[in-house]
Amino acid sequence: MYKMPTEIEEIFDSHRQLEEGNRELAENVQYWIGMTQVNKVWDRVRARPNKYRSSRVGVCIVDTGYDLNHEDLPKDAVSAGSSFGSALSDGDGHGTHCSGVIGAIGGNSKGISGVNPDGQVKFRISKALNNEGMGTASSVIKGIDDCMNSGAKVMSMSLGGGPNADLMDGMFDEAYDRGMMIYGASGNLGIRTDDYPASYPHVISIGAVDRSGRRADFSNWSEQLELLAPGKSITSTYPGNRYATLSGTSMATPIVAGIAAMIWSYFPQCSNQQIRNVLLSSAKTLTDNPNVDCNQRTGWGMVQALDAFDLLEEYGCAAGGQNYNPPRNGGVGGCNQPLADISSLVPLSQQVQPPPINIEQSNFGCKRLMLKIMTDSYAYENSWVFNQMKNGNTRVELGKGPPGEGNYADLTEYNGAAHSGCLEAGTYEFIFKGEKILLNSYMLLPLTLIYL
């Protein structure tokens, strides 16, 4: 029997105060936002919006559901599947709480801000636990399968108590090969134990720290533990326009899942393995031995969002190490997870860029721009335009998609040229879902742009 391992401290209505004193419930910024550097990433990207542009990342939450009518939760870009009635209602509250941690709306003067307050995520809600917070092996397996088929890139599972099952282990292998990052709560008994699904090698096991940054007494530990995040007294959304303060590894898990989605939204070219490893490499080490970065009690340490962001900005995806073929070979878990040797990497700013090539004097032949687009479950969002730039800002459209008046199909791969014929020397722009890339003709040898 699967269940959500959570301790409830308080449930209160939206008009109640979040803290003692005169501060009313109005966009409360909680202590864990600073502890994990989430606010510093917000500051970085909001200060330079033209430089840092995010692309929405799908996050699938396997839990008790989602209160779609809550004042502080997104209404758009939310889809659902369920084993127990409507997934867009939540008779327990646990799933709604985890959802708010990941993506409660910011800037609305209500409640709290989640890790992704500006709509960087699109939710897939997979209701695998009933209104008592309980589920079966079959309901959890159905929920995992729903996540895999939804096109989501991140899966968050604040549940545990099941056995080590080959079937479920194989599903996570497949999900990892598809490019998903999967997070699971390590459990709340405060002992050394393998709790599943968190202890599968392709599930990233998350423990909890308290307000002081020490491993919480209730947080389980094992060889598979990878990261810690605040899990004590976490306030978030609760059904009926209420808010609840809960404690547990259940709360730490969506914090890390939300941070992973946020970081990935700004570096979508990186793989799941690379984002996973960057979060480990940049974690704040909590071991007692200064010469040891990781142990079974604290994993690689407490997640640090800005430090991960900085590593990717400085070194690119190489900061996350190599990609394995198949990807499952790189998912080991715990302290044995293969990380990059950051000291051996050359910053992107110091890497030698190739000089421009005069197309008329080159021997590369026909220059073309090829596209590879793998759609998710929101294929209707995908559109592009390919223009040639002439006389400064004059644009000549060479191609666009999808063709005609239709949309791309969900979960489908498209390959082909962005234009017909060969390209002459000059400058071009490619715009995908509003994101603009400027291309010089020397880059097209041919060049393939891949969007997943």
- Does residue 16 register a pLDDT over 60? no
Give the predicted TM-score (pTM) of the model: 0.78
* Residues, the chain: 452
Q: Which is nearest to 45 in space by CA: 124, 115, 122, 111?
A: 115
Average pLDDT over residues 112-123: 93
pLDDT score at 439: 59
Q: What does the pLDDT read at residue 434?
A: 62
Q: pLDDT band for position 190 (50/70/90)? A: very high
Closest CA to 279 of 38, 33, 5: 38
Marked catalytic residue, from 14, 54, 63, 219: 63
Q: What domains does the chain contain, in order, with CATH numbers?
A: 2-343 (3.40.50.200), 359-451 (2.60.40)
How large is the average pLDDT for residues 167-182?
96
Please give the pLDDT value at position 354. Answer: 47
Per residue in 268-322, pLDDT (tens digit) is 999 999 999 999 999 999 998 988 999 999 999 999 999 999 999 999 999 999 9
What pLDDT was estimated at residue 398?
A: 81
Q: Residue 409 — pLDDT band, cuts 50, 70, 90?
A: confident
Mean pLDDT of 408-435: 74
Q: What is the pLDDT of residue 196?
A: 96
Please state, in angstroms and rounded to a whole number, the distance separating the CA atoms of residues 125 and 84.
12
- pLDDT higher for 120 or 206? 206
Q: Is 195 labeled as catalytic in the residue annotation?
A: no
Q: 318: helix, coil or strand?
A: helix
- List the beta bridge partners of residue 180: none
Measured CA to CA, the distance from residue 269 to residue 267 in angstroms comes to 5
- % of the chain exceeding 90 in pLDDT: 65
Is the per-residue pLDDT at 17 higher than 70? Answer: no
Choice between 167 and 452, residue whose per-residue pLDDT is larger: 167
pLDDT, tens digit, for every residue of 146-169?
Answer: 999 999 999 999 999 888 999 999
Q: What is the CA radius of gyration of the chain?
A: 23
- The pLDDT of residue 11 is above 80: no
Binned at pLDDT 50, 70 and 90, residue 437 comes out as low
Residues 6+ apart with CB under 8 A from 334: 205, 222, 223, 224, 225, 226, 294, 296, 299
Q: How far is CA 72 from CA 114, 233, 239, in A?
A: 10, 19, 11
Cis peptide before 163 (omega within 30 of 0): no
pLDDT band at 390 (very low <50, low <70, confident <90, very high): confident
Q: Could you say which of 250, 265, 281, 282 is catalytic? A: 250
- What is the C-alpha to C-alpha distance for residues 169 and 433, in angstroms, rounded to an integer? 36
pLDDT in tens, 94-108: 999 999 999 999 999
Which residues, at least 6 apart from 449, have a Cβ–Cβ distance to it below 8 Å? Answer: 369, 370, 371, 372, 418, 430, 432, 437
Q: Is pLDDT of 417 > 80?
A: no
Q: Would the pLDDT of 77 be above 90?
A: no
Residue 382 — very low, low, confident or very high, per pLDDT cuts 50/70/90? confident
Active-site residue flag, 210: no
pLDDT in tens, 223-274: 999 999 999 999 999 999 999 999 999 999 999 999 999 999 999 999 999 9
pLDDT of residue 299: 98
| pLDDT for 22 | 32
Q: What is the pLDDT of residues 315-370, one digit of tens each?
A: 999 999 999 989 999 999 999 999 999 999 999 888 765 444 333 334 445 677 77
Mean pLDDT, range 191-218, rounded to an integer: 97
Q: Classify 216 as helix, strand or coil.
A: coil
Catalytic site includes residue 250:
yes
pLDDT band at 5 (very low <50, low <70, confident <90, very high): low
As a whole number, the mean pLDDT across the chain is 86
Amino acid 362: pLDDT: 42
Q: What is the pLDDT of residue 20?
A: 37
Which H or E run contains 277? helix 272-281
Q: How far apart are CA 450 and CA 452, in angstroms?
A: 7
**Position 171 pLDDT exceeds 80:** yes
CA distance 163 to 199: 10
User: What is the predicted pLDDT for the residue at 370?
Assistant: 74
Distance CA 11, CA 6 (A): 13
So what's the pLDDT on residue 399? Answer: 82
User: According to the model, what pLDDT value does residue 318 have?
Assistant: 94
Amino acid identity, position 99: S
Determine which one of 67, 72, 92, 94 is catalytic: 94
